[in-house]
Structure 1
Amino acid sequence: MPWFEPAPGDAGLLRRSRLALVEDVTLIDKALRRGKIQRVQRGVYKEGAEPDEWERAWAACATVRGCDPVASHRTAARVLGLEVPSGGPEEVTIPRGERRPHRADLRFHTTTIAAEDQIDLDGLRLTSTARTVVDLCRTEEEYRAVWAVERALARKLVARAELDAALGRARGVPGVARARRLVASARPLSGSPLETAGRLAIVADGMEEPEVQMPIVRADQRDAYVDLGFRRQRTGLEFDGRSEHGMEMAVFEDRDRQNQIVLRDLTIYRFSWFDVFRRRPHFLRTVRSSIGA
C-alpha cells in the first residue's frame, strides 16, 4: 500500500493531508532512506512537507486503538490557534478507566469529556476551544495557562460565558478548581507572557493588583500605556521581553517613550525575564518598596 493513501476506514483523510497508517516495514525503510516520507507517529508517515498541526493531531489519535481518543491540551490548542509552547509530545484524552499506554511521543490523559466540549474538524475529533483552555489551566504552568486564556479572549476565539459553561461541565475533574481560579485571573489587555507572569507574582505576594496597560498622556501630549501601573502611587512597571527590544531603533524609541512618561511625574521601573523568573524575591521587594506596601 502506498504510504500516502488512506488506510481502509479512513474516509475523507485525503481532504486534508497525505498521511497513512503503514505496516509494511520494507516499504517504510526504503522510503525513509530515500527521504520520500517522514515519520509523524508510530506507524504513521507523510510524504513531502512537514506535517501541519492538524496532521500531527490526526496522527496522534490514529495510533491509539480501541479507546476513542480525542486530541486535547497542547495538541488541540495548536490546531485551534491558541498560544502554547511548541515541542513536546502530542496530547490526547481517552475515557476514564482505560489503560494509558506508555509512549514517549504521546501524553495520555484520562477523563470524561462532555459531547458539548468536543468538535469534529475534517474528521479529527478534538476538544472545543473552551474545553481546551480549561484543560490548559488544569495542567500548564500558571503564567502560561493564564496567557493562553488572555490571548484567546483578546482574539475573540472564546467568550467568558463559554469558559464558564465548560468549567461547569468539567465539575469534578481533577484540577478544575485551579482552572476556575486561573480563568478568573485572566486580563485580556495583557501585552505579553512576561507581563502576565509579573502581575500574577505581585498578586500572589499579597500586593494589590496593578492596572494592566494603564493609559496615560505623555509629556508631549501623546497617548501611552504602561504595562502595569499603580495609579494612586504614580508608579509604572515596564517589562522587557527577550526579543522585543532586540532592534536598535526599538531601543531608542522605547527610551524616549519612558522619558516622556517620567516627565509626567510617573516613576517607571523596568524588569526583564531574568528579574521575574530568576530573581523573583528581588523583583517583588522592588515593587513592594516602590508602592510603599
Structure 2
Amino acid sequence: MDDLTRSESSGGRDRSVEDGPIGSAAEHLPADPHGLIAYADALRAGQTRTLYTLNRAGSLHRIWPGVYQDLAAGRGNRPGAEAKALSYRRRVLAAARRLRDPVFTSWSAAALLRLPIIGDWPEEVYVLSGSATGSRRGAIVRVATRSGAPEVRVDGVRVTSVEYTIIQLARHARLGAALVAADAALRDMPFLGEPPLTTRTKLFEMHDQLRPYHRSRRAEAVLHRATHLSGSPLETVSRLAMEELGFAAPLLQVCIPLEGWADAYLDFYWDDDIGGESDGDSKYTAGDDSAETSARLLAEKAREDELRRRLKKLARWGWRDAWTGRPLERKLLRVGVPRVRPAVPRFW
C-alpha cells in the first residue's frame, strides 16, 4: 500500500482540489529542481488530494514509492537512448529522496554521471551497502565495500567516483554497456579540446586497489579494451563487432590531411590506406531546419569525396550494420579489411 492509499484509508483529506477539470493543477504541486513531486512535500503543502487525483487521472506517474513525476514534463523531445537514460536517472533521484543519505554506484552512479550505455537501464538502483556484504531487496541492490569508496556529488547526490563507478558497472553490466561507459569517461579526442573524466591509469589503479574482488575478470575485460579515442557509443560497438567478426584491429582517429578542408580524423584506419567511418543518424538529421540539414549533407558528401581521393578504400556504416554484424562484415570485406581469425559468438 503506497502513501496515497494509506492516506485515503485513514480518512485523510485536504481542500487542494476544487470541483471541475484538473487542467494544469500539477504546476501547483511542490516539485524539486528535477521535477519530482514527493508525497511528503505534498502533505506539508496540503496538496495530497491533488496528488492523488492527478495520479489516478494518469497525469502523474509514481516512479518510486512516495515520489511522482509529471508525465507531460517527463517526456521531453529526446531520442530513444537519451529518453531511457533520463527516465532511469530520475528514478535514481527519486530513490535518493526516500533513502537515508545513499551513495549510488554502478548503474545508478553512471546514470547520474551522464555516462552512456547500450541496451536498457535496469529497474533496480545500486547503492553502497556500507559493509563487506551486499544484498538485494526489491528494487534496491546494496553493493558490498570493504573500505570507504571515493565519492563525488552530482545533482546534490552522493555517487562513487568515475573510476569506482566504472569498475562496479563492469561487474554488473554486460561488456558492451560497460565499455561504452568506460570509453565515454576516457574520451580525449585530439579535436574536441574537452578534458576526459578519467584516464586508463586511474582506472587500473582503482582496479588494483580493490583486488581481489568478485567478478574482477569481467572488469579486466572492459579495462583492457577501453580507449580514450572512441568518439561515440557507435564507434565502441563497431570495435566490438570487428573483434567478434575476426577482423584486424584498426588504428583509431588517424589524421588525414585534406586539401581545402580541415584535417579529417578517421574513426578507423587499416594498413594499405583503408579507412572506416561509423555515422549515427543524428549526424545527418540533427536540427529542425531542412536547409541546415541539406547543407550538412552536402558538406559531408564533399568531405567524403576528398577522403576517397586520399584513401584506397573507404567503408561507411551505421548503427544497424554494427549491431546486427553481417552488414558490417560485408562492408569491411568489400574494402579489403583483413580477417585475422575466425568469427566468434557474440560475447558483448
Within the candidate set 106, 112, 125, 1:91 is matched to 125
Cα distance in structure 1, aligned partners of 2:134 and 2:167: 22
Look up the SS of the partner of 2:283 in the other structure.
Answer: coil
* SS state at 2:179 partner: helix
Separation (CA, whole Å) in 2 of partners of 1:214 and 1:112: 41
Number of aligned residues = 273
TM-score (norm 2): 0.64
Partner of 1:195: 235
The residue matched to 2:136 in structure 1 has which SS?
A: coil
The counterpart of 2:137, out of the listed 80, 101, 122, is 101
Which stretch has the larger CA shift, 86-95 or 126-135?
86-95
Native 8 Å contact 1:233 1:291 kept in 2: no
Deviation by residue 1:65-118 (Cα, 9 ceiling, x = unmatched): 7xx85312232123223234686535223535454222xxx3525322631334
Structure 2 CA distance, aligned partners of 1:98 and 1:72? 13
Look up the equivalent residue of 2:221 and give its one-letter code. R
- Report the TM-score, using the length of structure 1 for normalisation: 0.75
In 2 relative to 1, CA 275–88 (structure 1 residues): closer, same or farther, beyond 3 Å?
same
Give the Å deviation of 1:122: 8.1
Partner of 2:275: 236
Q: In the aligned structure 2, how far is the partner of 1:120 from the partner of 1:245?
A: 36
Residue 60 of structure 2 is aligned to residue 60 of structure 1: no
Which residue identity lines up with residue 43 of structure 1 in the other structure? G
Distance across 1 between alignment mates of 2:263 and 2:221? 33
Is the CA contact 2:253–2:266 (under 8 Å) kept in the aligned structure 1? yes
- What per-residue deviation string (whole Å, max 9, x for no partner) do you get for residues 106-147 of structure 1? 352532263133445687332111111222222334333222
Mapped partners of 1:291, 1:37: distance in 2:
53
- Give the whole-Å Cα distance in 1 for the aligned partners of 2:153 and 2:262: 48
Q: For residues 241 and 155 of structure 2, what CA distance do their matches in structure 1 show?
A: 41
CA distance in 2, matches of 1:73, 1:196: 19
Contact residue 117 and residue 233 of structure 2 kept, 8 A = no
Aligned partners of 1:130, 1:168: CA distance in 2, in Å?
Answer: 12
Of the structure 1 ranges 283-292 and 154-163, higher mean CA displacement relative to structure 2 is found in: 283-292
Give runs of aligned pairs for residues 131-280 of structure 1, distance below 5 A: 131-154=164-187, 155-220=195-260, 222-230=262-270, 232-246=271-285, 247-278=293-324, 280=325
Residue of structure 1 in register with 2:48 after alignment: 28
Higher strand share: 1
Gap runs ≥5 in structure 1? 4-13
**Is the Cα contact below 8 Å between 2:251 and 2:268 reproduced in 1?**
yes
Structure 2: gaps (5+ residues): 5-30, 75-85, 188-194, 286-292, 340-348
Alpha-carbon distance, 1:32 to partner = 3.5
Q: After superposition, give the CA deviation of every residue in 1:194-244 in whole Å (9 maximum; x if it has no partner).
A: 1111112223444321011221122546421221111x2211111121221
Match of 2:83 in 1: none
CA distance in 2 between counterparts of 1:100 and 1:63 reads 17
Percent sequence identity over matched residues?
A: 25
Structure 1 residues 221 and 257, CA gap change in structure 2 (3 angstroms)? closer
Contact map agreement 1:60 1:90 (CA 8 A) in 2: no
Partner SS state of residue 237, structure 1: strand
Structure 1 vs Structure 2 CA RMSD: 3.7
SS at the partner of 1:215?
strand
2: distance between equivalents of 1:238 and 1:171? 38
